[in-house]
Amino acid sequence: MRELNCTEVSLVSGAGTSEVVSSLNTVMETISTTLASTVESLTSATDSREISGLFRKVMSLTGLYTKLTFITNLLSSTITDSSSSEETVTEA
Task: Give the three-class secondary structure for 77.
Answer: helix
pLDDT of residue 1: 42
Instruction: Please tell me the distance from the alpha carbon of residue 9 to that of residue 25, in angstroms, as a whole number.
Output: 26
DSSP3 helix / strand / coil % (the chain, rounded to 5): 80, 10, 10
Report which of 87, 76, 85 is spatially closest to residue 4, judged by C-alpha positions: 87
The whole-number average pLDDT for the span 10-39 is: 85
pLDDT of residue 19: 83
Spatial separation of the C-alpha atoms in residues 82 and 35, rounded to whole Å: 34
Please give the residue range of the domain that contains residue 73.
2-91
How many independent structural domains does the chain possess?
1
pLDDT digits (tens, 9 = 90+) for 70-88: 999 988 887 766 555 545 4
Tens-place pLDDT, residues 29-47: 999 999 999 999 999 999 9
3 CB contacts (<8 Å, ≥6 apart)? 88, 89, 90, 91
Residue 2: pLDDT band (50, 70, 90) is low
Residue 13 has pLDDT above 80, yes or no: no
